[in-house]
Structure 1
């Protein structure tokens, strides 16, 4: 039996869900972002108890097909941007349609209808969040970040960053540096 879980976006989320399932003595076959395969059917009471426990952790069981599809779209994009070294060798629409085995027009219309934004804007938002993270780590130059995230140029990354955040990457980085304190100052 498959369970679909909203808001699972990182390896720590998988660990948190795995721990909850183990506490409830639910045998799992596999756990991935947004999806858990369990060994046997859950009773109605067990499902409600699991949903309640997951909500305390910031997760939620997803019941209807549309919500599951939206969560799958989000999980694929989050994985691509934040957890994968896979370079996008095609456009996002083709990649997503191939990954989820659905026509992109269907995916796009469903996502826009439910989320009130486009898949492309969601993807851009995730990429900018990754840029912010990399800027704060201060291990890569802006040019290296642009290369790592598949931007055609540093100028394009900077332009998109400013459009989304209202700040230049350099200014954002300087703000974050001034707000951060050394551990001995805490």
Structure 2
């Protein structure tokens, strides 16, 4: 077995795109998840080099070092938590990451800060704000419902954090009509 760690896989479409790229190599894929592909056998180095180029053209990147692999796993776990498991946002982030990565949270936190230049908590906030933007654009939920869904203690706290990150209040963002969202892999 061989595991490939791939940067910038943040959604189900990313999984489809990576799977499609891998199928061109006629590889036996055991499993594919955000940031990780398990192959039944080791990929020869010449094929790995070409695959890295093909993935790069699609906006992905093979991750070589263990540290970068762990950081990518942290990012993927947070993206999954915020964007795909809203009902679980009430879990304690440190416990969630320890359970997902089976490592001590303080070590994860230190590594993440060292590599990314921001804290895990700030990364979580950035992801939550992008989710708020998405929900505001859909215009299906009230701000109170969004605050509840994303487990903010109050609408005021959500609004305050939103303004701190974007420079706009949620209502200004909606009125503005220029919906500038960041791709999840660029946060």
Per the TM superposition, whether the score is higher than 0.5 is: yes
So what's the TM-score if we normalise by structure 1?
Answer: 0.93
Structure 2 CA distance for aligned equivalents of residues 24 and 64 of structure 1: 23
Structure 1 CA distance for aligned equivalents of residues 101 and 163 of structure 2: 31
Structure 2 CA distance for aligned equivalents of residues 140 and 27 of structure 1: 43
Structure 1 CA distance for aligned equivalents of residues 179 and 45 of structure 2: 52
RMSD: 1.4
Query: Per-residue displacement from partner, 1:100-148 (whole Å, max 9, x unpaired)?
Result: 1111110010000010000000000000000001001111110111111
Runs of 4+ in structure 1 deviating by more than 3 angstroms, as ranges, are none
Contact 2:8 2:59 in 1 (8 A): yes
Structure 1 residue ranges without an equivalent (≥5): 180-186
Residue 98 of structure 1: CA displacement?
1.8
Structure 1 CA distance for aligned equivalents of residues 121 and 179 of structure 2: 32
So what's the TM-score if we normalise by structure 2?
Answer: 0.92
Structure 2 CA distance for aligned equivalents of residues 9 and 3 of structure 1: 15
Structure 1 CA distance for aligned equivalents of residues 179 and 79 of structure 2: 29
Secondary structure of the corresponding residue to residue 4 of structure 2: strand
Higher relative contact order (Cα pairs below 8 Å, separated by 6+ residues): 2
Query: Per-residue displacement from partner, 1:74-105 (whole Å, max 9, x unpaired)?
Result: 00000111112442333211211122111111
Q: Number of residue pairs matched?
A: 179
